[in-house]
Structure formats: structure tokens, C-alpha cells
Amino acid sequence: MREPERHATALALYPEDTQEAAALLKQAVPLMMRHSIPTNPVHYALWYTYCRGQEPELNHQLDRLVLEEGGFPAESATKLFRDFIIRDELEEARAGQQQAIDLVDDMERDVSHSVKVNLNFQASLEHCIEMLDEPIALPSILSELQQSTQLIQDQQALFLGQLRAAQNEITSLRAKLERVQLAATVDSLTQVFNRNTFTRLLEQALSKGPDGVALVMLDIDHFKQFNDQYGHPLGDRVLQHVGQLLRNALPPHGVAARYGGEEFCVILQRCADIDSVYAFAEQLRLKIRTLRIKTRSTDELLDTVTASFGVAFAESDDSVESLITRADDALYRAKRNGRNQVQ
């Protein structure tokens, strides 16, 4: 995968670690149950944000909705999700769409004008040809041809400049659309795929048949201690280093994703057997253990970073959920048995 640009996404709005996120969810879920709000990703995102308390207008809208509506209409929830959770992505997508429309309008106008000038030049040529049959001085014919030729040359030069400007606009538009696409698929902090994209890619892999498909799940050991001892910015650097390591270590048919918090996943395809998957996970474990990260303020070297791994090889009856569950169970065994190992 080509290394994407850094870009702020809706994911960047939620910098909490696992413990902080769990605490917010413990507030959000009872609120949802109290108001009989169905559990789905959109509703979770809204009420999680509500409990964070950093979007006063969203909180006001949610309070009004449950009090006045006596329920939680799906259309209203979807609108709030668009307006407060993914508004930046939508605004950039709309801006890109409008830029494309404006570009097409400009090109249509410029081409129409160029065609008009060419038609005028053709009419001028026809007029000059007719004048050749008349007893008139040749200089007047040449003068008219010269003027018409100059007009079309000027127009062609103008049109060429407009084409170059359009090319620049297209380049800018392409970059903007790529950023929107990346924002929807890539975790902004670690630059590996996000959880939604991971789920979709795993579905695609299993839909082609489970043969050779494997899932590796890993969790950075004692990550909360890094945050508590050194602060969240350094914890973010640890995540970034692990993300970069995963991107560099991927085989040709591998995909890395951040599953959430300090947990990552790797989808492998065309695996020969389970032993090759264990060997790959063990290589990752050793590489993570060799990471050396220093604090920027004191140049202090951090304690060794380690990770625990769970491996699952896809079976014929596996779904996305069952394969993730088996890999997660293996990861739990690795952590229970002392961490820094592959199960």
C-alpha cells in the first residue's frame, strides 16, 4: 500500500485510550438504555460524544430529541451523525464535488468560445475565397486573412492557458479526493487501515474462500503504563512506530489495520499453513521487541516495547466474527500466560 498522507479524520476526534474509552462507554450505554435507544454504531458514536462533553450543541440537540420526540427517530440520528461526527469529511467531499462541477462548467464555456472563434475563422476564409473571384485588390484579402489568423492564434493561446489551468485544477481535485478516500479508510495516527476498512477487507478475503486466509491480532503489552508514565503524546509515538513496523513487514498479500486502542490486526492471504502464520507473527514479535524509542524532552530511552499475539487460520465455516473471536481468544491466552508471546 502506498504510504498515505497524514490527514485529520473523525477518528482524530477521539484520542482516548482503552480505559478512558471504556469509562465513557459506561456512561453512554446506561443513557441509551434509559431512553430506549437502539444499539448501533451511529447511536454509540453520538452518545459516546455526548458523554465526552466537547460538543455542547450536539448535547443540546440530543437532549431536545429525547424530550420532545419521546423516542429517537433514525432520520434525526443520522442527521446528527453527519452534522457532528463526520462533518469534516462531508464538507471536504462536497467541496471536491463542487470543484469538479465548476471545472466542467469552465471547460464547457472555454471550449464553446474556442469553437465559435474557429467557426468565425472558417467563415472569414470562405469570404476571402469568394472575394478572389471579384476584381478587387489582393492586399485587402490578405489583410482580412491576417486579422482572422491573428484572432484565432490569440484564442488558441488563451485556450491553451485555460487548459493548463484546468490541468492544475484536476491535479488539485484528484489530491483532494484521495485525501477524502484516505480519511475514510486509514487510521490517521498509525497510517494503517482503520477498523471499518479492516472488517470490509476481511469479508472480501473470506468471500473468495477461506483457504490460505489467516488473522493475526496483537496488543501492545502494558500500554497504559506508557501513557501514565510518559504521557499520551509518547504513547501515540509508540503506536506510530508499531504501525510503521507493520507496514514495512507486510507480505505482498497482507493488510495491517488498527483494531482499536493499542490493538492491531494483520490479514494474511495465500498462507501455506498455520506454521507459516506463527512464524510471521513471531518475526513481528521480535521486531517490536527491538524498537528503541526515546522521550523527546529528556532523551530517556523507554522500557522495551513488547506485544502479545493471537493467531487464527480460517476454516470453511468461518465468518468474520468467528475468525476474529478465535484470534482474540488466542491473544487473550498469550496475555494470560505472561505476554510477549504468540498463541
Residues 302/303/305/308 CA torsion (nearest 10 deg): -150
How far apart (Å, rounded) are the C-alpha atoms in residues 76 and 68?
A: 12
Residue 268 host element (H or E) = strand 263-268
Q: Which residues contact 110 (CB under 8 A, 6 or more apart)?
A: 159, 162, 163, 166
Which is the catalytic residue, given 3, 75, 203, 262? 262
Where do we find the cell 516495547? 305
Torsion of CA 93, 99, 100, 102, to 10 degrees: 150
* Coil, strand or helix at 36: coil
- What is the dihedral angle through the alpha carbons of 170, 176, 177, 180, rounded to the nearest 10 degrees? 180
Type of residue at 185: T
240, exposed or middle or buried, with CB in 10 Å at 0-12, 13-18, 19+? Answer: middle
Q: List the 214-220 sheet strands across, edge first.
A: 255-260, 263-268, 214-220, 307-313
Query: Nearest to residue 288, comparing CAs of 209, 236, 341, 213?
Result: 341
What's at 9, amino acid-wise?
T
262 catalytic, yes or no? yes
SS3 content of the chain, % helix, strand, coil (to 5): 65, 10, 25
The residue with cell 429517537 is: 72
Q: Which residues of 260-297 are buried (b: 16+ CB within 10 A; e: fewer)?
A: ebbbbbbbbbebeeeebbbebbeebbeebeebebeeee
Residues designated catalytic:
262
